Amino acid sequence: MQPHVSRRVLLAAAAGAALLNGRAIAQAKSRIGIIGAGNIGASIGGLWIKAGHPVMFSSRDPDELKDLVAKLGPLAHAGTVAQAIAFGDVLFIAVPYAALPQIGADYKDALKGKIMLDACNAVPTRDGDAITKEADTNGIGVTSQKYLAGTRLVRAFNTMGAQTFESQSNRSDPKLAIPIAGDDPEAVRAAEGLVRDAGFDPVLAGGLASAKKFQQRSPGAYGFQGSSAELKAKLDSAQ
């Protein structure tokens, strides 16, 4: 009987180890590289730091980010765009929309295969009529993917301002719902997890073409603040 007992003990130990390993994987924190350390980048990055994620903010001159990094604590880092891309398991971009073509061209090889959350909005007075019209006509998710070729892109965090994100994070149920859209299932799952870690409920609108339902100047869910059920209904009614 003793060999059978030993076998059961070994199997139980192996199962326990597998369970602990699974929990460790589930609790693992992503390293996040942020391109654009303005209001949105700083606010969302700060929420991720509160959730335990190491975050690198980037700038052409990382010294400009010293105060931000000091305020956010030891999980916050500053670097160049190239360093943030290399640092991140996941990337978050929040820059003027007109900068996307140059960023996509300059860092094409480094960006290839990276999961990227895109919060950029096309504003005609800032970004110009041509790229704004392209985003409005073709859909901003499809347009962003064009300029950030090779990334595994998910639209997220583009519908509200930094102060709203900061004040509404982790509010009492129902949590504020955030629309997302993406074509890559693994990237979508990563984005959903990071939306939750920032203190919100993710609501998947569909593939990148569906990001048109919550982009600026659309009759959809841009600027909408509500629960996940309310946001789903709003997205379902959008064309």
Show Cβ contacts of residue 72 under 8 Å, excluding neighbours closer than 6 positions: 45, 46, 49, 55
Quote the radius of gyration of the chain (alpha carbons, Å). 20
CA dihedral 185, 189, 191, 192 (to 10 degrees): 130
pLDDT of residue 89: 97
Q: What percent of the chain has pLDDT over 90?
A: 85
In this model, does residue 178 exceed pLDDT 50? Answer: yes
In this model, does residue 155 exceed pLDDT 70? Answer: yes
pLDDT of residue 28: 79
In this model, does residue 13 exceed pLDDT 70? Answer: no
In this model, does residue 32 exceed pLDDT 70? Answer: yes
pLDDT of residue 30: 94
In this model, does residue 10 exceed pLDDT 50? Answer: no
In this model, does residue 213 exceed pLDDT 70? Answer: yes
Q: Which of 8-12, 25-29, 33-37, 50-54 has the lowest mean pLDDT?
A: 8-12
In this model, does residue 132 exceed pLDDT 80? Answer: yes
Question: Mean pLDDT across the stretch 207-233?
Answer: 95
Would you place residue 27 in the very low, low, confident or very high pLDDT band (cuts 50, 70, 90)? low
Question: Nearest-CA neighbor of 97 among 128, 76, 66?
Answer: 128
CB 176 within 8 A of CB 166: no
pLDDT of residue 72: 97
Helix (H/G/I), strand (E/B), else coil: 223: coil
In this model, does residue 135 exceed pLDDT 70? Answer: yes
Show Cβ contacts of residue 172 under 8 Å, excluding neighbours closer than 6 positions: none
In this model, does residue 3 exceed pLDDT 50? Answer: no
Secondary structure string (H, E, C) spanning 104-116? HHHCHHHHCCCEE
Would you place residue 238 in the very low, low, confident or very high pLDDT band (cuts 50, 70, 90)? confident
Question: Mean pLDDT across the stretch 69-98?
Answer: 98
**Which run of H or E residues covers position 56?**
strand 55-58
Cα three-residue angle 178-184-140, rounded to 5 degrees:
55
Would you place residue 219 in the very low, low, confident or very high pLDDT band (cuts 50, 70, 90)? confident
Sign of the Cα torsion 104, 106, 112, 116 reads negative
pLDDT of residue 239: 67
Helix (H/G/I), strand (E/B), else coil: 219: coil
CB 2 within 8 A of CB 10: no
Would you place residue 19 in the very low, low, confident or very high pLDDT band (cuts 50, 70, 90)? very low
In this model, does residue 161 exceed pLDDT 90? Answer: yes
